[in-house]
Chains A and B, each alone.
Chain A
Amino acid sequence: MVVADTGASMRGLLVGLGDTPGAVARVTADEAFAALTRRHVDAAFRLAWAILGSTHDAEDAVQDAFALAWRKRSSLRDPDRFEAWFGRILVNVCRERLRGRARSPVRELAVPSAGATGDIPTERPDTAAAPPDVGLRLAVGVALAGLDADHRIVVVLRYWADLTVDEIADRVGVPAGTVKSRLHYALRALGPLLEDVR
């Protein structure tokens, strides 16, 4: 087991369980970090999917975010702050993907049976014949697709993930006032689009 000098408290998560050559029951800081990341995979994927609206993009974003997290893990000084710390990384990655998508718009296909592929359709189909929940999903997808990256992220974080304005400000890295103004704008933009749901 590696120990720090007297009086020093070791940074991170190093937990030595044995020092026998060949021992396998050893949990290192990295293994602990790995366990931490695994616990958050599902939540990360769900949030990335809600922001990006695509299973494929969400997968990529979560992979990117976890790889970034690995590279930057030395900057995580308090494991209890992992969720917020990783949340910032993930939101940033999603934002970059959305911005990239805006620079080179991809015409996503309208999926007749929404949800079958896991992607959110971004074109409004004829919803008259679709089941109600499909109609809602389609409408939400279309509405979110009309927002730019910054507004879409604050909307999802606030109304889908139920984060407070201060928490969103922390995740996005902007002042709380900016979050509020983005929410205000987004509400105006989304309001009419959601009026005729169902």
Chain B
Amino acid sequence: MTADEPMTQQERTLRERLQAGLVPPSTPDRLLLTLDAIADHAVRAERPRRRLLDHAPSFGRPGLAGRLRVGLAVVAAIVIVAGALTLGSSFWGQQGVAATPFPALPSAAPHPLPMINQGAWVSPDVAWVEASDDQLYLTDDGGMTWSGPRPLPAMYLREIGFRDASNGWAVFAPQQVEQAPVDVYLTHDGGRSWSKTTVGTISSAVDGHMVGLTLHFSDAEHGVVLAGDYVSLAGGGGMGIVPMTCLGWTTGDGGATWRQLTDAPCALHDWWATPQVGVLLSVETGGPETWLTTDGGETWTKGRLPADMTSAPEVLVFTLAADGTPRLVTAPGGGTADPITTHAGSALETRDGGRTWAVAHDVAPPEDHGAASSGGSAAAGPDDWLITWMRGGVAPATLYETQDAGRTWREVTTLPNGLQGLRWLDRLHAIGGGLDDSGCSRPDATPCHVPTLLLTNDGGETWHGLPIEDPLFPARPTASPAATPTATPTAMPFDSEQAALIARGYGETVPNEYGGVYLDQSTGHVVVLFTANLEQHRQAILDKIGASVPLEVRQAKYTMVKLLALQERISSDMGSKQPAWLKAIPAMLIGSGPDEMHNWLAIEASSANPDAPALILAHYDVPAGMLHVSSDGTGVALMPRGWVDVSVSVPASVTVPPGGSWDIEMVPDGPGLWGGGDIGYGVEPGKSAAVPATEGGWTVRLIACCDATVVGTGHVTVMAGGHVPLVVTVR
């Protein structure tokens, strides 16, 4: 049966009935919005800036994996505000803390906090978050106000954890890299400076593999980092994600030195019932396995779940019964985020230190919404306490609490509209986020999804909302009429890029007030920034581009002229010119450019010094928020480099289609080398490609288009400043 093979009568009947009986509904608007948001987020995250080197070095592949680490785990999390807040190390030390009322929050007040990727809430007042602009923010008043930003010391952040407002840890590792360094950074001054320790390396360069990383500190001195190389067997009939390599390191001196575990547990996820008692879950051949620790991760006991669980269950929470018995509240696996909200599950417990687990009792969802249910983050504590939320179909969601590990549930409250993610500090305090769409019913409400931070200090009975900035939905309308988006009731076709160019042309006629222009792809709006006279400029631009173009005018702090002047000032330090102060760090500036969306000048640096971003910022001594420095954390641009001049030899037996070419893949002999960059090189028959690479040995592979087959390999040793010719014969 091929394309030319006719169908039998039975097949034709089946085809006819399937095509008549399977009539899909229209694509939901919210799906389109979400996908646009994914694309827009990624595009903005990777929008290239002007580079002064031939290619901006990068360690491994482009940084999307790092940028989207939350979103890729659960796609919806890309639009989940505050959805990935992790629990601080003192999470369980706060039981019974007296409730401190939150001050009334101005529900419509603009706030500088961007969308949150992850964070650590270390007390009812103090929380740290890593936001979507790759910077850290701190609150010491329970979320009412936030200070920062403070730049991260490197790229590829995986987890952060803070003990208090000053002391914290962060672990970094790139994805899909041979021998990727696992770096733990420590700060003792609230993120102003960092020290780095490379605890080891992990490799996940094979396509489809990924690095899992876990960081946990049980107290100020004792911590554990677990790293694994995982592969999805989704296409091969396997049971999902299984570990290939598992490594672990522990520290007893606050992270200054690390010791490798001899028998590291494998797991993608960790759950902690107390700072000392935690559990990991993974899938090995033969069924799911667990590791239990009661000493903060120093030692682990391997165990198995009940034999009838042939696939990994979804673990909702890990808790301790009143007598201290470890309990896992689980539901059948299946890819949903929190299936307890839709399926009955089990509370498993171990009474032999984690070697075996048995069903203690069944757990039923608090409410049966069938397949229409969706659920959110849950939290648990000692004494069988568990809290979670679910909704049946559309918002709003309901918050439920149990005091007996899921046997019975109590409805706490109906949650604020648009809630997407929620994390609990203790039984009273929670922080969450979502998209408030309460204004979407208004015909002129674009954009109408307002990212909101949600706070409670009374166990979820009452909530306070704080609008926050979000790069997915930037430039929310403010109370100023000048910032109100202009949208026509009947959308007319328009060329938004042309409109943006016109707006820029106008802006450049008022250089003392013009701050930039960009296209907001999530809303389709042309967004123009000015430092003053917003309404006047809005009218002037509308006169030129017409009222049918959705236009937003935003308040800017810095004019484009000032940003470009700063760039000009910095340009003398860019690239290999490297003045003495940069050599002293050491660091190299590898790219710069105005970022209109954030209204700052962005610099990309290459440095292994974790303090490089802060030192560079301090050197230029510009007003707060005018300059943003990011570092690759590796200093790879500082390494001496040469070039491999790759050409191909095509035997007569090999037919090359017209215009055919091969991709070049550079594989280093050891860790820490850089070659090729993030653009990708190809080579055509009869031509040569000069591929930059650092000093060392390299295997060069030719990759066939489309099916990723390696059609030829060669090996060279690169010397700094030199060109090494290499002819690769195509097989």
Distance between Cα atoms of A78 and B40 in the complex (Å):
22
- Does A70 contact B594, Cβ atoms closer than 8 Å? no
- Does A100 contact B334, Cβ atoms closer than 8 Å? yes
- Does A81 contact B35, Cβ atoms closer than 8 Å? no
Would you give the shortest CB distance from B679 to chain A, in whole angstroms? 6
Given contacts A2-B679, A74-B680, contact A38 B36 (CB under 8 A): yes
- Of A31, A95, A183, the residue contacting B234 (CB under 8 A) is A95
- Does B516 contact A22, Cβ atoms closer than 8 Å? yes
Contact with B along A43-72 (1 / 0, CB 8 A): 001100110001111111011101110111
Question: Which residues of the other chain, A, contact B680 by a CB distance below 8 angstroms?
Answer: 10-12, 74
Interface of B is mostly: mixed
Given contacts A10-B682, A42-B27, contact A75 B207 (CB under 8 A): yes
Question: Which residues of the other chain, A, contact B1 by a CB distance below 8 angstroms?
Answer: 165, 180, 183
Please give the number of chain B residues whose Cβ is less than 8 angstroms from any Cβ of chain A in the complex: 102
- Does B618 lie at the interface of the complex (its beta carbon under 8 Å from any beta carbon of A)? no
- Does A77 contact B331, Cβ atoms closer than 8 Å? no
Given contacts A8-B689, A156-B18, A164-B2, contact A72 B207 (CB under 8 A): yes
- Does A2 contact B48, Cβ atoms closer than 8 Å? yes
Given contacts A77-B663, A96-B335, contact A194 B17 (CB under 8 A): yes
Distance between Cα atoms of A11 and B13 in the complex (Å):
45
Question: Which residues of the other chain, A, contact B679 by a CB distance below 8 angstroms?
Answer: 2, 4, 10-12, 14
Given contacts A8-B690, A22-B560, A103-B332, contact A77 B48 (CB under 8 A): no
In the complex, residue of chain A having the shortest beta-carbon distance to the beta carbon of B508: A22
- Does B683 contact A71, Cβ atoms closer than 8 Å? no
Docked complex: B8-49 residues within 8 A CB-CB of A = 10-11, 13-15, 17-25, 27-28, 30-32, 34-36, 38-40, 42-43, 46-48
Indicate the size class of the contact surface on chain A. Answer: 35 or more
Distance between Cα atoms of A166 and B684 in the complex (Å):
30
The total of Cβ contacts below 8 Å across the A-B interface reads 261
- Does B31 contact A62, Cβ atoms closer than 8 Å? yes
Distance between Cα atoms of A187 and B7 in the complex (Å):
12
- Does A34 lie at the interface of the complex (its beta carbon under 8 Å from any beta carbon of B)? yes
- Does B43 contact A34, Cβ atoms closer than 8 Å? yes
Distance between Cα atoms of A34 and B497 in the complex (Å):
16
- Of the listed residues B78, B311, B339, B706, the one surrounded by the most CB atoms of chain A closer than 10 A to its CB is B706
- Does B21 contact A77, Cβ atoms closer than 8 Å? no
- Does A90 lie at the interface of the complex (its beta carbon under 8 Å from any beta carbon of B)? no
Question: Which residues of the other chain, B, contact A97 by a CB distance below 8 angstroms?
Answer: 334-335
Question: Which residues of the other chain, A, contact B594 by a CB distance below 8 angstroms?
Answer: 21-22
- Does B585 lie at the interface of the complex (its beta carbon under 8 Å from any beta carbon of A)? no
Would you give the shortest CB distance from B149 to chain A, in whole angstroms? 22
- Does B408 lie at the interface of the complex (its beta carbon under 8 Å from any beta carbon of A)? no
Distance between Cα atoms of A164 and B691 in the complex (Å):
41
- Does A67 contact B75, Cβ atoms closer than 8 Å? yes
Distance between Cα atoms of A156 and B11 in the complex (Å):
12
Docked complex: A89-105 residues within 8 A CB-CB of B = 92-93, 95-97, 100-101, 103-104
- Does A197 lie at the interface of the complex (its beta carbon under 8 Å from any beta carbon of B)? yes
Docked complex: B552-602 residues within 8 A CB-CB of A = 560, 563-564, 567, 593-594, 596
Interface of A is mostly: helix
Docked complex: B635-693 residues within 8 A CB-CB of A = 643, 661, 663-664, 679-684, 687-692
- Does B50 contact A19, Cβ atoms closer than 8 Å? yes
Would you give the shortest CB distance from A145 to chain B, in whole angstroms? 12
Chain A binder among B61-69, B413-421, B606-614: B61-69
Distance between Cα atoms of A71 and B578 in the complex (Å):
34
Chain A binder among B82-90, B92-100, B109-117, B517-525: B517-525
Given contacts A120-B22, A194-B14, A194-B17, contact A78 B706 (CB under 8 A): yes
Given A41-B31, A106-B370, 20 other A-B contacts at CB below 8 A? A7-B683, A22-B594, A24-B596, A28-B43, A50-B22, A56-B374, A62-B35, A67-B78, A77-B705, A100-B334, A104-B343, A107-B370, A120-B22, A139-B21, A155-B18, A159-B15, A160-B18, A164-B2, A173-B235, A191-B10
Between-chain CB contacts (< 8 Å), 11 pairs? A5-B692, A9-B682, A11-B681, A22-B516, A41-B32, A50-B24, A59-B28, A66-B75, A133-B20, A139-B17, A191-B10
Q: Which 7 residue pairs spanning A and B have beta carbons closest together? A: A100-B334, A11-B680, A104-B332, A140-B21, A34-B39, A118-B25, A8-B689
Mark B residues whose CB is within 8 Å of A.
1-3, 5, 10-11, 13-15, 17-25, 27-28, 30-32, 34-36, 38-40, 42-43, 46-48, 50-51, 54-55, 61-62, 64-65, 68, 71-72, 75-76, 78, 207, 234-235, 240, 311, 331-336, 339, 342-343, 370-372, 374, 497, 500-501, 504, 516-519, 521, 560, 563-564, 567, 593-594, 596, 643, 661, 663-664, 679-684, 687-692, 703, 705-706, 708
Mark A residues whose CB is within 8 Å of B.
2, 4-12, 14, 19, 21-26, 28, 30-31, 33-34, 37-38, 41-42, 45-46, 49-50, 54-60, 62-64, 66-68, 70-72, 74-75, 77-78, 81, 92-93, 95-97, 100-101, 103-104, 106-109, 115, 118-120, 133, 136-137, 139-141, 155-156, 159-160, 162, 164-167, 173, 180, 183, 187, 190-191, 194, 197
